[in-house]
């Protein structure tokens, strides 16, 4: 690792610590030439799969789209932000665990629905109405029956 102050490659690690989450390593380093100290952080580079939409188009995976979907569905619902963030993290872990270069947008939508069903039934119905393109009241009734049957 080159020293950011003098550019020397002659540095040594003084201290290493793993983050509380276990996904980052923090290293304190010292330059053997200028004697200055600096910190580096190491994380694994994770490549998210491409999302294949219904029409066959491909796009980059976007965490913000999932967050926005949750925020819209949970608008004015009594669900703490922390629970929403945890649900989003679970979805991202599932997407990564698939291990493929591509994932269908339908699969992500189903993951969002499953997490919303655990968090808040009203939010689940809101999301389902848009995601499944409800066209009439009967579609709402069907989902409400589905949700109440699970309880």
144 in the same domain as 106: yes
122 in the same domain as 84: yes
Give the residue-averaged pLDDT of 29-39.
Answer: 97
Residue 20 has pLDDT above 80, yes or no: no
Q: What is the pLDDT of residue 50?
A: 94
93 in the same domain as 134: yes
Q: What is residue 29's DSSP assignment?
A: E
Whether residue 119 lies inside any domain: the answer is yes
Please say whether the beta carbons of 16 and 27 come within 8 A: yes
pLDDT band at 133 (very low <50, low <70, confident <90, very high): confident
How many angstroms separate the CA atoms of 25 and 17, rounded?
6
Residue 74 has pLDDT above 80, yes or no: yes
DSSP 3-state assignment of 39? Answer: strand
89 in the same domain as 30: no
Q: What is the pLDDT of residue 145?
A: 87
78 in the same domain as 37: no
Whether residue 6 lies inside any domain: the answer is no
Q: What is the pLDDT of residue 147?
A: 83
Give the residue-averaged pLDDT of 30-42.
Answer: 96
Could you tell me the residue range of the domain that residue 81 belongs to?
50-150
Strands of the chain (E only): list them: 11-18, 24-31, 37-43, 50-52, 58-59, 102-104
97 CB-near residues (< 8 Å, 6+ apart):
none
pLDDT band at 69 (very low <50, low <70, confident <90, very high): very high
* Rg (alpha carbons) of the chain, rounded to whole number: 22
126 in the same domain as 66: yes
Strands of 100-150 (E only): list them: 102-104
81 in the same domain as 22: no
How many angstroms separate the CA atoms of 73 and 66, rounded?
11
Whether residue 68 lies inside any domain: the answer is yes
Residue 151 has pLDDT above 70, yes or no: no
Whether residue 31 lies inside any domain: the answer is yes
Give the residue-averaged pLDDT of 64-77.
Answer: 95
- Written as six digits, the tokens of 41 are 């952080």
39 in the same domain as 82: no
35 in the same domain as 74: no
Give the residue-averaged pLDDT of 49-75.
Answer: 95
98 in the same domain as 30: no
Share of the chain above pLDDT 90, in %: 69
Give the residue-averaged pLDDT of 80-102.
Answer: 91
Tell me how many domains the chain contains.
Answer: 2
């Amino acid at each position: 690792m080159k020293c950011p102050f003098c550019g020397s490659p002659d540095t040594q690690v003084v201290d290493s610590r793993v983050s509380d989450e276990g996904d980052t390593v923090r290293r304190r380093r010292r330059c053997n030439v200028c004697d200055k100290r600096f910190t580096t952080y190491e994380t694994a580079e994770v490549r998210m799969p491409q999302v294949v939409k219904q029409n066959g188009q491909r796009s980059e995976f976007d965490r913000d789209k999932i967050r926005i979907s949750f925020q819209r569905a949970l608008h004015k619902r009594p669900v703490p932000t922390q629970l929403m963030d945890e649900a989003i993290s679970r979805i991202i872990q599932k997407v990564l665990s698939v291990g493929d270069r591509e994932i269908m947008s339908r699969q992500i939508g189903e993951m969002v629905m499953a997490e919303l069903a655990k968090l808040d039934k009203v939010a689940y119905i809101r999301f389902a109405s848009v995601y499944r393109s409800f066209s009439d009241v009967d579609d709402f009734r069907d989902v409400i029956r589905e949700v109440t049957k699970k309880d």
